[in-house]
Structure 1
Amino acid sequence: MKRTPFLSFLALLTINIPLFTLSDANASPTIGAKSLQADGGKLIGKVVESPKNTGVSFATVALLMAKDSSLASGGVADENGAFTILNVAPGKYLLRVTNMGYQTLFVPNVSISAEANLLDVGNITILPEAQKLNEVLVKGEKSMIVDDIDKKIVNIGKDMLATSNNVSDLLEKVPAVSLDENGNPQVRGKGNVVVLIDGKPSNLYGSDLPTILQSFPANLIERIDVMTTPSAKYEGEGASGVIDIITKKTKIRGTNGGLRASFGNKNNHNASGNLSYKAGKLGINASLSGQTRNTTWKRTLSRDNFISENTSHLEQSGTGGNKGKNAFGRIGVNYDFDDKNALEFGVNYSRDQNRNNSSLLNETSIASGSVTERFTRLNNSKGNGDNLNFNLDYRRKFSEKDHQFNFTTSYSLGASDGESYYNQESEIDSLMRNQQNLRDNKRHSLFLNTDYTWPITPKSMLEVGLRSRMSSNDNTNAFYNMSRETGSYVFDPNISNVFGYQDATYTGFMTYSQKTDLWGMRVGLRVTDYNQDIDQISIKRDFSVHFLTLVPSLALTRKLGETAQLKLNYSRRVQRPEADWLNPYTDVSDPRNIQSGNPSLKPEFTHKAEMGYSNYEASGGWGPSLFMDYSNNAITRIRTIDESGISLTQFANVGRELSYGLETDFSQSIGEVLKINGSGRIYRSEVVSQIAQIDNRTWSYSGNLNAFVTLPADFRASAYINYEGPRAIAQGTREGVFVANMGIRKELLEKKATISFNVQDIFLSRAYKSQLNTATYSQHSLWQQTNRLVNLTFQYRFGKISASGGDDA
């Protein structure tokens, strides 16, 4: 959450901030002789102002890890400037001292061993903001990317937050991650990604993932973990990988918060606020956000149908718009019984409203070029959804470092309803129609999780856990045709559907980690018992499916220096069919291209392997890797054509899907002016199925780049470009997609406020094109958003003490 100073109090504003300044030895003391015990050690000192050594009241003192500047502990000086930090473990640290009206001071070389239980750093002198330092300044920076043994950790810094209103905006700036045309995350250009929020399934926050990501404020996020070959600890689902979105937590004490308002063109606005309070054992945090959305789009489709004796041609062109409103609120209460036991309770609520309209012209012609039928399909739809989530977390720490037990439970319930009206206009009387579709959905889910982490030795760790998730979904789609004789709607049982779905997943996992000075290993196994009950109520058909799956994982690392390492990872993944993929309801909103679920889908199993090198330092680094994904029963969309030229799209297990290539991500600070980060890859994608007569293979390349430029007068500019190259899909090829965004911001009110101007899709180039070619048809299609998004955002931060794990400037 947003946390900054107010009046004479100064927040730990720059905890985990990507860019900071270290004064040299002439301006700051060096500490290293005395030391502390790992448990119960105490660090004391006094913050004073030069030249009279007067105590500075309520200065904030943060203890940072020397390696990556992450927060280890901290405290606040009293009215005389004296401070105490308890329970300091041995290690190498930096001290950071901040207060309103004073220059931030860093004290390097704080080296703590286990030989004593008290360290007195004496007086630490800070200078008023008005004074200018003449000494040489040494810049230090927390790396944006941290390469862990089985994941990449992307720290969300102030530059990313200044140009991001929600989590969707953040994800586009994360290496190897992109969004498809519907707003669903992709990893390495492929969907089927599991998205977690604080380790819990994102569907606990609602049923529509793009809406969840758009409604979640960016300033609540501390980091994003991307796992392309996840260990057995994480969900076994997600053939492309796992994304875990980690929110900020209150760690010290104080009151702080922030307000953010963004005004955009075409009625694209959003506003959010958050407040955090921590005193003694009790902590309370709350946030509220609201958003209005308005996008317009166009689509075209051109298809030659070869299945009948007389070849026919379908030409479609249309435009449409999507309008929406959503609100998101959360409140959490945490209580620390003592240093070892803590309990947290939270409630999240979200509400979404959507209004959609479209106009689609359809023309069918024969080989001679004469038009056999022509009609325009007008669609007006609206829908509402609510989701309520309760979660309870208990944590028990033991005496040894990293020895702890966690229990988490979440219960979520939601409902949505909607209605669509279709008016089909034509000069041909038989093609004129008025239709209505009424939808109703109710769902609930329960998530239970226990984790136990046991450090067997100082260099070996055992982690075991149990998971269970139970969910149900009742979906009603009622379709009506208007009778010309009576003028009233008549129920159509042929394409209406009542669908009941329940699943229960029981999982146990174990991972074992072993480290030496040079080598690291993590091996794991995940066992999942998956039960699925499908009830096609409309046709009185129900059946159950049971899967028992094993998901092994292996990660090996070899250190090549202080920050460089080699890594080899393997993981087996499973993609189980989702409820929407199974629901046999037939969507006829486009009567020439209908869609339906497939209740006969089987799980998809994917083998993922990766071998890479990484070297990330504070100033930047890179991480090239070779990767390979292989599935022999991939779930993908298949389109078939009947003799009348109508296509049916369903998910199906088509056969072998393979991708392999070279990928790298990187980050680099160039002087004090420019900071860049990004990723790129060259890869081969193949989709092959003898049964479906598919054999598509292609080489491609993709990449994204973020650049942040420091300008005079506290201005910062940013630019983002992303290109997803063409890739093989079932029955054809998906063409490349290019996106470019830019922004500029300025800090105001003694850096308590920020104003920024951002433009998304500068060149209106986010166009999704595909080409499909089979023995029965050849098709070219396009979908493109047609309104450029421009917004002006103002953000204000307030509070006595910043208690977050990251900066949200």
Structure 2
Amino acid sequence: MTRHFPISAILLCCLSIAQTHAGKANMLRSSATSIVLGVEGSKIIGKVVEAGNSNAVSFATVALMAARDSSIADGAVADENGVFSITNVKAGSYLLRVTNMGYQTLTVDKIAVNAEANVVDVGTLVLTSEATKLNEVVVRAEKTMIINDIDKKIVNIGQDMLATSNNVSDLLEKVPAVSLDENGNPQVRGKGNVVVLIDGKPSSMYGNDLPTILKSFPADLIERIDVMTTPSAKYEGDGASGVIDIITKKTKIQGVNGGGRLTLGNKDNYNGSGNVSLRRGKLGVNASASAAIRNRYWKRTLDRVNLLSEETTYLSQNGTGGNYDGDLFGRFGINYDFTEKTTLSGGMNYSRNYFVNTTDYLNLTTNDASTVLEEFTRTSDQDGIGDNMNMYVDLRQKFREKDHLLSFTASYSIGGSDSDTDFEQVGNLASLLLSQQNNKVNDRKSIYLNSDYTWPVTPKATVEVGVRARFNTDDNTNSFFIYNPESEDYLFDPNISNIFSYSDALYTGYSTFSQKTDLWGLRAGLRVTDYNQTINQVNINQSFDVHFLTLVPSLAVTRKLSDAAQLKLNYSRRVQRPNAAWLNPFTDVSDPRNLNTGNPNLKPEFTHKAELGYSNYEENTGFGPSLFMDYSNNAITRIKTIDEEGISTSRYDNVGRELSYGFETDFFQRIGETVKINASGRLFRSEVVSALAQIDNRTWSYSGNVNAFIKLPLDFRASAYINYEGPRAVAQGKREGVMVANMGLRKNFMERKATLSLSVQDIFLSRAYKTQLATSTYLQNSLWQQTNRQMSLTFQYRFGKISASSDDA
């Protein structure tokens, strides 16, 4: 016979966690003496009754949670007589949380695990009735914001971080030590080259343009964000600055839940998204979709002094432009639990991007006498479309005990883009009159195979091994046509056109060993990677292969000082492999005064990363200071050279060494029931040195960000964010500091099923990126700034009716 539990019996378990961590006054905390549990395999039994009459509370939810971070370790649902049983309890310290619709939450703390008993009867647990009646329940959980694992920091996404976050980009700016560059790419400690994963898989499965992916991914789907500044060997060696793993929400809750969001912004910026999750018995289905229209406006200036020519000349560029993007993004997934130990899932991700970009540059060249030597205006109008489709399948198989786990993932991606650009150039000399058309076609394919096995050698020691294969192909055709007045037609120009083909194959394997005792933790690992690149300059029939064999070791040691505090020492070696765009020797002439070309002779850059840190994260406060050091002796750096005519050429090269070291800390604090603050800051030195390129830049700097979340009357919440990235040494010069400030306000209504929020990004229009370069042949100052302040109004609605049956697997 099938029994149906009352609506929201399970969700109230999650709701109770949120209420406890927010300090809700209606929670009851038992002051009972410690309850002694047994070793692994122990059973906890008890009965839940109602205060005043001792009637059984049928189908109450009983959650067993780790005392350190309130994460759920196990749980059970009481039967119709209020009796419950939790089996297979491991050693540790726990809380017991009892919830049911219409009753106040009961918490039993100080539950310690030892080897003294196999069955523990906690007796009768009494729930006090309250008048609340709920038909629909919203899943809300305010966990401890930061949890420090042995080789990463876990940032839980609570309601405050979601208050004015429409997408993953908005969330990342609120994560300690993470920021975004001018194009929307993530940075860790102010540096790019970050590997971004989604549920442990490459973000490229969702598309080729990372900023678009992050803006298309709804914030409501995110459970937590893991930040690894010294990643273990379990992760691929790419990402010299670190690895960010974005973990999406997953549920075993029976029934249907989901939500929708609509955003209206100034300057014709709009966004809509929705998601739904359905689970019936062993089958689960989830889907999400979003559509966005984004309009951005910018300005750019460049002033360069040419010291190489016979007479000093001065180039001044002043430009404005706009970027219009129309994005579609969709996900569909399905999973089936064949048994408690075998789960098969699969799905598809699809993204489509339509873009229109316009630029208008005034180019002026003068001499010391301020005589105009050359003056022309160059405009461009580009439109294009790109798409990406990914299909994947995952298998998870448990063996013997629950901790033996084999996982396998196979993924196939296909995508491409096509764009057309018209260039018009008008100037004071006949030679400057020019009309061009440019067509770019890109086709790419990717296959990703990965398998991991987790083997608990002892209750406190674990070995993880894994293998991975990845294959990419990337074909690019770049065709330029120049208008011929005589034929009144556009003619193909082979001198500035290019057909480039790139492919790579990566084979890698890793092994890590983890050991934990009451006070110490150790994780050591090694990854071996065989990497092959094939580069083919098709139009000139020139191709060659490159092979790299690399070792990526890692080591992490922790020393527990208390339940919440620990010391940590980490080391990791990282590798940055040159991508196709950096290797392509074709010279891009889109800006005739600033050329860009690739370097097929680039070698991988290896970075040594070390960190010594302390952390103490509790329920309402925490901080994590650390000393860090990054060192590379063959850094891949963009180098700019200039000719006598004042035309610059930029390309990447292995120029010398880069060193960064300093002090960093993050911090969060809840102040009463109304204010929560999280922040991070660092004081550091950056050095870029190359005798060959005549570079010697060394700079002390500081950076930091602050997020403040405030609960206001009438269920309003406000948030404010300020980030400052201090000056940093770059090759041939310095990048100046950048400041950005955002704020937001939201209001819940309709019994918290709906939210209305207002947000403002870049309040002071201060996100301006300035760079100063100085060499023996030229001096240059440049500026790039987005000129539209982003304001948006968002309406969000959530729904979720659930049921559960006693025979759910």
Distance 1:746 1:453 in 2: 44
Distance 2:212 2:41 in 1: 45
Closer/same/farther in 2, CA of residues 352 and 106 from structure 1, 3 Å limit? farther
For structure 1, list consecutive stretches of 5 or more residues without a partner in the other structure: 132-139, 804-809
In structure 2, the partner of 1:225 is 226
Distance 1:621 1:754 in 2: 29
Distance 1:102 1:296 in 2: 54
In structure 2, the partner of 1:807 is none
Distance 1:802 1:221 in 2: 23
Q: Return the offset for 1:773.
A: 0.4
In structure 2, the partner of 1:137 is none
In structure 2, the partner of 1:454 is 455
Q: Return the offset for 1:551.
A: 0.7
Q: Return the offset for 1:87.
A: 5.2
* Mapping for residues 48-197 of structure 1, pairs under 5 Å: 48=50, 60-74=61-75, 88-97=89-98, 103-110=104-111, 115-117=117-119, 119=121, 122-129=124-131, 142-197=143-198
Distance 1:703 1:381 in 2: 37
In structure 2, the partner of 1:741 is 742
In structure 2, the partner of 1:478 is 479
Is the 1:621–1:667 contact (alpha carbons within 8 Å) kept by the matching residues of 2? Answer: yes
Greater Cα offset, 380-389 or 24-33? 24-33
Q: Return the offset for 1:234.
A: 0.8
Closer/same/farther in 2, CA of residues 566 and 627 from structure 1, 3 Å limit? same
Is the 1:44–1:122 contact (alpha carbons within 8 Å) kept by the matching residues of 2? Answer: yes
For structure 2, list consecutive stretches of 5 or more residues without a partner in the other structure: 1-5, 134-140, 805-809
Superimposed CA distance per residue, residues 286-313 of structure 1 (whole angstroms, 9 cap, x where no aligned partner): 1111111111111111000111111110
- Secondary structure of 1:463's match? strand
In structure 2, the partner of 1:700 is 701
Is the 1:10–1:98 contact (alpha carbons within 8 Å) kept by the matching residues of 2? Answer: no
- Secondary structure of 2:624's match? strand
- Secondary structure of 1:21's match? coil
What TM-score, normalized by structure 1, do the two folds share?
A: 0.93
Distance 2:14 2:766 in 1: 38
Q: Return the offset for 1:69.
A: 1.3
Distance 1:53 1:414 in 2: 64
Distance 1:296 1:682 in 2: 33
Is the 1:11–1:799 contact (alpha carbons within 8 Å) kept by the matching residues of 2? Answer: no
- Secondary structure of 1:128's match? coil
Distance 2:560 2:274 in 1: 43
Q: Which amino acid aligns with 2:347?
A: G
Q: Which amino acid aligns with 2:767?
A: R
Is the 1:261–1:270 contact (alpha carbons within 8 Å) kept by the matching residues of 2? Answer: yes
Superimposed CA distance per residue, residues 579-623 of structure 1 (whole angstroms, 9 cap, x where no aligned partner): 111122322222111212221111001111111111111112111
* Mapping for residues 127-526 of structure 1, pairs under 5 Å: 127-129=129-131, 142-526=143-527
- Secondary structure of 2:170's match? helix
Is the 1:663–1:681 contact (alpha carbons within 8 Å) kept by the matching residues of 2? Answer: yes
Q: Return the offset for 1:402.
A: 2.6
Distance 2:102 2:793 in 1: 28
Distance 1:468 1:460 in 2: 27
Q: Which amino acid aligns with 1:125?
A: L
Superimposed CA distance per residue, residues 200-226 of structure 1 (whole angstroms, 9 cap, x where no aligned partner): 111121111111111111111111111
Distance 2:657 2:29 in 1: 64
Distance 2:789 2:649 in 1: 33
- Secondary structure of 1:654's match? strand
Q: Which amino acid aligns with 1:697?
A: R
Greater Cα offset, 299-308 or 256-265? 256-265
Closer/same/farther in 2, CA of residues 571 and 90 from structure 1, 3 Å limit? closer
Q: Return the offset for 1:802.
A: 10
Q: Which amino acid aligns with 2:417?
A: S
Closer/same/farther in 2, CA of residues 119 and 535 from structure 1, 3 Å limit? farther
Superimposed CA distance per residue, residues 541-579 of structure 1 (whole angstroms, 9 cap, x where no aligned partner): 000000000111111111222221111111111100011
Q: Which amino acid aligns with 1:301?
A: L
Distance 1:275 1:13 in 2: 19
- Secondary structure of 2:714's match? coil
Q: Return the offset for 1:252.
A: 3.5
Is the 1:22–1:106 contact (alpha carbons within 8 Å) kept by the matching residues of 2? Answer: no
Q: Which amino acid aligns with 1:582?
A: L
> What's the RMSD between the two structures over aligned residues?
2.5
Distance 2:231 2:394 in 1: 23
- Secondary structure of 2:204's match? helix
Q: Return the offset for 1:173.
A: 0.9
Distance 2:201 2:593 in 1: 40
Closer/same/farther in 2, CA of residues 84 and 591 from structure 1, 3 Å limit? farther
Is the 1:17–1:158 contact (alpha carbons within 8 Å) kept by the matching residues of 2? Answer: no
Greater Cα offset, 253-262 or 623-632? 253-262
Is the 1:11–1:800 contact (alpha carbons within 8 Å) kept by the matching residues of 2? Answer: no
Q: Return the offset for 1:434.
A: 1.1
- Secondary structure of 2:494's match? coil
Q: Return the offset for 1:501.
A: 0.6
- Secondary structure of 1:655's match? strand
Closer/same/farther in 2, CA of residues 47 and 763 from structure 1, 3 Å limit? farther
In structure 2, the partner of 1:134 is none
Distance 1:547 1:117 in 2: 57
In structure 2, the partner of 1:712 is 713
Q: Return the offset for 1:799.
A: 0.9
Distance 1:476 1:361 in 2: 29
* Mapping for residues 530-609 of structure 1, pairs under 5 Å: 530-609=531-610
Is the 2:163–2:717 contact (alpha carbons within 8 Å) kept by the matching residues of 1? Answer: no
Structure with more relative contact order (C-alpha pairs < 8 Å, separation 6 or more): 1
Task: Confirm or deny that 1:754 pairs with 2:755.
Answer: yes
Task: Confirm or deny that 1:721 pairs with 2:722.
Answer: yes
Distance 1:199 1:408 in 2: 11
- Secondary structure of 1:266's match? coil
What is the percent sequence identity of the aligned residues?
64
Q: Return the offset for 1:117.
A: 4.9
- Secondary structure of 2:171's match? helix
Distance 1:720 1:520 in 2: 35
Distance 2:798 2:143 in 1: 22
Distance 2:143 2:276 in 1: 26
Distance 1:752 1:61 in 2: 25
Q: Return the offset for 1:750.
A: 1.3
In structure 2, the partner of 1:775 is 776
Greater Cα offset, 543-552 or 232-241? 232-241
Closer/same/farther in 2, CA of residues 680 and 544 from structure 1, 3 Å limit? same
Greater Cα offset, 66-75 or 12-21? 12-21
Q: Which amino acid aligns with 1:400?
A: E
Closer/same/farther in 2, CA of residues 24 and 776 from structure 1, 3 Å limit? same
Distance 2:281 2:121 in 1: 24
Is the 1:28–1:124 contact (alpha carbons within 8 Å) kept by the matching residues of 2? Answer: no
Is the 1:9–1:100 contact (alpha carbons within 8 Å) kept by the matching residues of 2? Answer: no
Is the 2:223–2:247 contact (alpha carbons within 8 Å) kept by the matching residues of 1? Answer: yes
Q: Which amino acid aligns with 1:21?
A: G
Closer/same/farther in 2, CA of residues 77 and 426 from structure 1, 3 Å limit? farther
Greater Cα offset, 723-732 or 140-149? 140-149
Distance 1:58 1:275 in 2: 26
Distance 1:746 1:497 in 2: 54
Q: Return the offset for 1:486.
A: 2.3
Q: Return the offset for 1:275.
A: 1.1
Q: Return the offset for 1:335.
A: 1.2
Is the 2:45–2:83 contact (alpha carbons within 8 Å) kept by the matching residues of 1? Answer: no
Is the 1:29–1:124 contact (alpha carbons within 8 Å) kept by the matching residues of 2? Answer: no
Q: Return the offset for 1:45.
A: 4.1
What TM-score, normalized by structure 2, do the two folds share?
A: 0.93
Task: Confirm or deny that 1:21 pairs with 2:26.
Answer: no
Distance 1:386 1:759 in 2: 30
Q: Which amino acid aligns with 2:571?
A: Y
Closer/same/farther in 2, CA of residues 35 and 440 from structure 1, 3 Å limit? same
Is the 1:462–1:510 contact (alpha carbons within 8 Å) kept by the matching residues of 2? Answer: yes
